[in-house]
Chains A and B, each alone.
Chain A
């Protein structure tokens, strides 16, 4: 297979970071702007080789602020644009993630999470950016995020992220972690014609039509059609709060209307976006909710617990934002408690608490090492005993 091929169809033994890069290639990524940061640099390095070979654009920017600004510009010029980073870079990107949300510019950011806060543990795993992914930029907005638990899922989730971003005109995230990113495992890449691709909604109006309001969402999905630079529509994109023509409208009424639409775009259609995997949940009395690298250990712990006769199941999150609140509410009628293991001091567990009055017991570590099945199994046993 030559490097000029976008889709590396076949069976591979790939590093998670490389699988993210191959997912981008398969999804038709046209533009990558990023900055080196452990443990995501390998994604950038792979794309630095793969993108130019197919005539696509790879740029290493001067920092993550510029990278994210470039992503929004590239997206609004029509490109499928992506970056890859880790915690410290993610923090820098927050400013322009807000711009992407405000301008409804589809783009993808891969975060190979590491120990945090601050410079933290550059080479070691963490899962501490989960809440930041949802709330990191100022103001109210909604994003979509996925959490791969394997290099195969790195490949799959990057493709999902591009499609979701383009479908809903939001920034979409792949919240991987250093364990998955630096793990080498089997990745099966299908033929190019089997890679799903969702295109952006385009306008019905022709360029130059004065009645075209590019920020008006006439459809039930609340997503306006997108126009790109150079297509002749000559519209204004603004980071300021704006009206349906895209002009600055810094007044309470249009602002509230705009922000509610940006939020409801996702909130009212979460059921079309949310994905999870259920293992042994049908008759479960105890539910474990896990994601990313921790989900692998959780799966082992749940299997072991079942062997011991404990009726525990696993809700493995595939999309982490929007959070599967309805499933948690449903499970609350069935189970007696939730156990949420994560490599942070309680982030998705907090989110779980919002949708249940049952006990939510965390299994937490600030990061630096894979969470073994043992602490999860111990907690399951303990909770099962006391339930």
Chain B
């Protein structure tokens, strides 16, 4: 049968459709990642009113505004403490931070490591496009060494973070990395994260044709997604210190997977009071 033209999409049920089309560039990976998260909300078994989505500033930060849930578009880097407070005041809610690599690990780096250390019961989904995309493609904490960006015209002089390693080291109980292509695995990872108590972290590699692809000879988004197709390797037991990502390297695979899935008591400011009662 030939295609039929329609006006709506199945995921529209959980979108603020009056705000579409979203602002993301053609081929941006935020769309598929947002779909995976939206679908996970629908399949989570938690009613829609029980979800809250918090973001910082950046392209990824625009995502909560498109979803029909309690959404909070907060200041740059501060999504995590904001989300932590909601999770503490409303412990029955499923609170997810959806933000970008610069927002979460540049300005927000300190908040990330402390929330992970405390094992705050929130989910953090990080769209990693290796630059500060919204502001035009400046270098960021995940930009590979030597890559070009608007504030690194001669090439980046700083080594980037290895996000899964960082998240695991600071105490996250669930650490995963997928891409905007591996959306089925991404959705399953998000569902697992929602089930878990404690600090969960999912890195999602995303093409950014305008901010990162163009200055680094990756052409348009589809080319970057083909790189994921060809070079991604799934290894849930990968040795995390070695899972660095540099899209331009021809010799190393991009390692994906659900790397960490452990159980630890989530942050509870009243933990010692309950212990006292139990004694």
Q: Can you give 29 contacting A-B residue pairs, CB < 8 Å? A: A31-B88, A52-B270, A59-B84, A62-B111, A65-B81, A66-B80, A69-B74, A69-B82, A70-B81, A70-B85, A73-B72, A73-B82, A73-B83, A76-B86, A79-B89, A95-B75, A96-B75, A99-B75, A230-B50, A230-B52, A230-B70, A231-B49, A234-B69, A236-B64, A236-B72, A236-B73, A239-B75, A240-B73, A248-B73
Instruction: List 11 additional A-B contacts (Cβ < 8 Å) besides A70-B81, A95-B75, A236-B16.
Output: A53-B273, A65-B77, A72-B74, A73-B82, A73-B83, A74-B85, A229-B52, A235-B70, A235-B71, A236-B72, A248-B62
Chain B interface (Cβ < 8 Å from any Cβ of A): 16, 19, 48-50, 52, 54, 57, 62, 64-65, 68-75, 77-78, 80-86, 88-90, 92-93, 110-111, 114, 269-270, 272-273
B92 engages A230 (CB within 8 Å): yes
Please name all residues of chain B whose beta carbon is closer than 8 Å to the beta carbon of A69 when the two chains form the complex: 74-75, 78, 81-82, 85, 111
A233 engages B70 (CB within 8 Å): yes
Give the number of residue pairs across the A-B interface with Cβ within 8 Å. 133
Complex CA distance for A247 and B64, rounded to whole angstroms? 11
Is A223 at the interface (CB under 8 A from chain B)?
no
A229 engages B65 (CB within 8 Å): no
Contacts A230-B92, A236-B64 known; A66 to B73 CB distance under 8 Å?
Answer: no
B89 engages A72 (CB within 8 Å): no
| Residue of B73, B85, B93, B110 most packed against chain A (CB within 10 A) | B85
Contacts A74-B86, A247-B19 known; A229 to B75 CB distance under 8 Å?
Answer: no
Please name all residues of chain B whose beta carbon is closer than 8 Å to the beta carbon of A362 when the two chains form the complex: none
Number of residues from A at the complex interface, CB < 8 A: 45
| SS of A interface (majority) | mixed
- Chain A nearest CB, measured from B73 CB (Å): 4
Please name all residues of chain A whose beta carbon is closer than 8 Å to the beta carbon of B92 when the two chains form the complex: 230
Complex CA distance for A97 and B62, rounded to whole angstroms? 21
Chain A interface (Cβ < 8 Å from any Cβ of B): 30-31, 33, 52-53, 55, 57-59, 61-63, 65-67, 69-74, 76-79, 81, 95-96, 98-99, 207, 229-240, 247-248
A237 engages B72 (CB within 8 Å): yes
Complex CA distance for A207 and B272, rounded to whole angstroms? 37
A59 engages B88 (CB within 8 Å): yes
Please name all residues of chain B whose beta carbon is closer than 8 Å to the beta carbon of A63 when the two chains form the complex: 110
A55 engages B73 (CB within 8 Å): no
Complex CA distance for A66 and B110, rounded to whole angstroms? 9
